[in-house]
Amino acid sequence: MNTHHIIKLCDRCYWDSTTETVKLHNEIVSLTSNMTKVLKLLITNYNKPISSIDIFFHIWENFENEYKPRNVRNLISNLRKRLPCLSIINYYGGSYMLKKNRESHPLFTDHLIEILDQAKNGITISDPNQNDNPVIYINHAFADAFGYLPEEVIGRNCRFLQGDDRDQSALEEIRQAMNAQKDVTVTLRNYHKSGKLIYNEVTISPIFDKKTQKLKYYLGVQKDVTAIQQLIQQIKGMV
Ligand SMILES: Cc1cc2nc3c(=O)[nH]c(=O)nc-3n(C[C@H](O)[C@H](O)[C@H](O)COP(=O)(O)O)c2cc1C
């Protein structure tokens, strides 16, 4: 049975239960054996307060040792210095608790880009704090749908997909929504690199910094609706 476990402690900080080591930004953090012991104890008791005396006897297993809360305090304080990202809570009365990170899956954030890359809809992210709101990320589905390589798109405003077909009422909807920093969903006439017309249903959403509430990014989700649009045009032509 594979018992190799990587536990996410905090952002970019992982505990390897096999080697009993902590990696921060991919570098092993050097800890004393007592620090490692106390950390392991805190991790196995995530979200549960452990009394200072229990920690003391866990670390200094020799029961002849006189219990000194100061030793535990110093040990925890040194661990905090080495791993400031950990949230070790100190309860009145001498208990310590490691608070669990809200992430539900250990390496989930590391996989986020892969998830976006493999999504079936086109995904674009732009940076409104740069001149002319250039694209800073596109996924594979977007690149495939329009026939461009990422390096041909990154750094440009998405309007290049409209070519010379700029007389579209939906563009005014986008401008108004973006001025008001609101979501918008419209269908645009866009053009594949080969020149082929694509009806693109795009949803553009402002993304705000949680702390400052300032506009940070725009997220665009693109869906090729050419087939349904052509059907609509055909039906319109029949009536
Ligand atoms: C994240 C994001 C994605 C966008 N995706 C598209 C797109 O796929 N196709 C398109 O024609 N315009 C897209 N736009 C809209 C254009 O970038 C631009 O905002 C629009 O053409 C209206 O502005 P303009 O009058 O300056 O051209 C997107 C905008 C943002 C912010």
Best-predicted range by mean pLDDT (18-32, 40-54, 89-103, 157-171): 157-171
- pLDDT grade, residue 207 (50/70/90)? very high
Whether the CB of 133 sits within 6 Å of ligand 1: yes
- pLDDT grade, residue 1 (50/70/90)? very low
Whether the CB of 222 sits within 6 Å of ligand 1: yes
Whether the CB of 36 sits within 6 Å of ligand 1: no
Look at residue 101 in the predicted model and tell me its pLDDT. Answer: 67
pLDDT digits (tens, 9 = 90+) for 144-159: 999 999 889 989 999 9
- The mean per-residue pLDDT over the stretch 200-228 comes to 95
- The amino acid sitting at 140 is H
- The amino acid sitting at 160 is F
Whether the CB of 38 sits within 6 Å of ligand 1: no
Domain 108-238 architecture: 2-Layer Sandwich (3.30)
Q: Which residues pair with 51 in a beta bridge?
A: 95
Domain boundaries, the chain: 6-98, 108-238
CA of 94 to the centre of ligand 1 (A): 57
- Residue in 159, 161, 169 to alter for ligand 1 test, most ligand atoms within 8 A of Cβ: 159
Q: Which pTM does this prediction carry?
A: 0.63
pLDDT digits (tens, 9 = 90+) for 92-147: 667 899 987 665 455 566 677 778 888 999 999 999 999 999 999 999 999 999 99
- The mean per-residue pLDDT over the stretch 46-73 comes to 85
Domain 6-98 architecture: Orthogonal Bundle (1.10)
CA 236 – CA 231 distance, rounded (Å): 9
Look at residue 102 in the predicted model and tell me its pLDDT. Answer: 61
CA of 110 to the centre of ligand 1 (A): 28
Which is more confidently placed, 117 or 199? 199
Q: Measure Cα distances from 29 to 80, 91, 113 in Å.
A: 12, 26, 26
- Residue in 142, 173, 174 to alter for ligand 1 test, most ligand atoms within 8 A of Cβ: 174
Q: What is the mean pLDDT of the chain?
A: 90
Look at residue 95 in the predicted model and tell me its pLDDT. Answer: 87
DSSP E strands, the chain: 6-10, 13-16, 21-24, 27-28, 50-51, 88-91, 95-98, 122-126, 135-138, 184-191, 197-208, 215-224
Nearest Cα residue to atom 29 of ligand 1: 158
- pLDDT grade, residue 202 (50/70/90)? very high
Look at residue 16 in the predicted model and tell me its pLDDT. Answer: 92
CA 153 – CA 161 distance, rounded (Å): 10
Whether the CB of 202 sits within 6 Å of ligand 1: yes
CA of 114 to the centre of ligand 1 (A): 24
CA of 220 to the centre of ligand 1 (A): 8
Whether the CB of 157 sits within 6 Å of ligand 1: yes
Whether the CB of 55 sits within 6 Å of ligand 1: no
Look at residue 106 in the predicted model and tell me its pLDDT. Answer: 53
CA of 174 to the centre of ligand 1 (A): 7
pLDDT digits (tens, 9 = 90+) for 63-81: 667 888 899 999 999 999 9
Phi and psi at residue 223, in whole multiples of 5°? Answer: -135, 130
Q: For a pLDDT cut of 90, what percent of the chain falls above it?
A: 64
SS3 180: coil
CA 175 – CA 177 distance, rounded (Å): 6
- The residues, any chain, with a CB within 8 Å of residue 238's CB and separated by 6 or more, are none
- pLDDT grade, residue 2 (50/70/90)? very low
Same fold, 6-98 and 108-238: no
Whether the CB of 204 sits within 6 Å of ligand 1: yes
Describe the crossing of helices 33-44 and 69-82 by its angle, rounded to 10 degrees: 90
SS3 149: coil
